[in-house]
Chain A
Amino acid sequence: KNQVEQSPQSLIILEGKNCTLQCNYTVSPFSNLRWYKQDTGRGPVSLTIMTFSENTKSNGRYTATLDADTKQSSLHITASQLSDSASYICVVSARYGGSQGNLIFGKGTKLSVKP
């Protein structure tokens, strides 16, 4: 069964600190993996996309990694800011079917950055 597991469920860090969020998946055949940021009460917004051949990709203070062999991805946030407080959702696309329902969502990690 295609699944996406994220850890931890929630995380509290102090402003300025770094943190790493984890995503493990069992989706096959794999197409790509995206990390989304969802502010409270808003819709998710894409941060970065990882394809099979990519190991690392950065978007400002966000760096995503992908290990396609172990089926693991991480999102590293550097020098956290209060505005990083949000839920971070890992979404894996399976390479099958039509474009409709091949997205498998993780349940998200809720990050709280405290001053």
Chain B
Amino acid sequence: DVKVTQSSRYLVKRTGEKVFLECVQDMDHENMFWYRQDPGLGLRLIYFSYDVKMKEKGDIPEGYSVSREKKERFSLILESASTNQTSMYLCANRAGLNTEAFFGQGTRLTVV
């Protein structure tokens, strides 16, 4: 069974804290993605990575950074959390163009 594992299901952080969201896959896929999902807005792409140490900005990268030191792990970093980053964060991976995206279970982050 394929696995995309996000480190936390629920997270509560204070404004200004540095936050790390971890995603690990066991599918040996090159491409990994971070999305945020908000009511009425759907999924929006924050960052993606198509290889180790490679990263590309998505549609809403402001306030976020990422790290991909190993193929199986893709981390999303909130340098200084703010209340408008309260959201559901979803990690995904794909083998290549036009292939299925596999999602993690999501991390519900609340910034207070």
28 sampled A-B residue pairs with Cβ under 8 A: A41-B9, A41-B106, A41-B108, A42-B105, A42-B106, A43-B92, A43-B106, A44-B90, A46-B101, A49-B100, A89-B43, A93-B98, A95-B97, A95-B98, A98-B97, A99-B30, A99-B50, A99-B99, A100-B31, A100-B48, A100-B50, A101-B58, A102-B97, A103-B101, A105-B42, A106-B42, A107-B42, A108-B42
List residues of B whose CB falls within 8 A of some A CB. 4, 9, 30-31, 33, 40-43, 45, 48, 50, 56, 58-59, 90, 92, 94-106, 108
Report whether B43 and A105 are in contact in the complex, using a CB–CB cutoff of 8 Å: yes
Q: Which of A32, A95, A98, A101 touches B45 (beta carbons < 8 Å)?
A: A101
Closest Cβ neighbor of B107 among chain A residues: A43
Q: Which of A78-115 contact B (CB under 8 A)?
A: 89, 91, 93, 95, 98-103, 105-108
- Number of interchain pairs (Cβ within 8 Å): 61
Q: Which of A19-45 contact B (CB under 8 A)?
A: 31-32, 34, 41-45
Cα–Cα, bound, A99→B92 (Å): 12
List residues of A whose CB falls within 8 A of some B CB. 31-32, 34, 41-46, 49, 89, 91, 93, 95, 98-103, 105-108
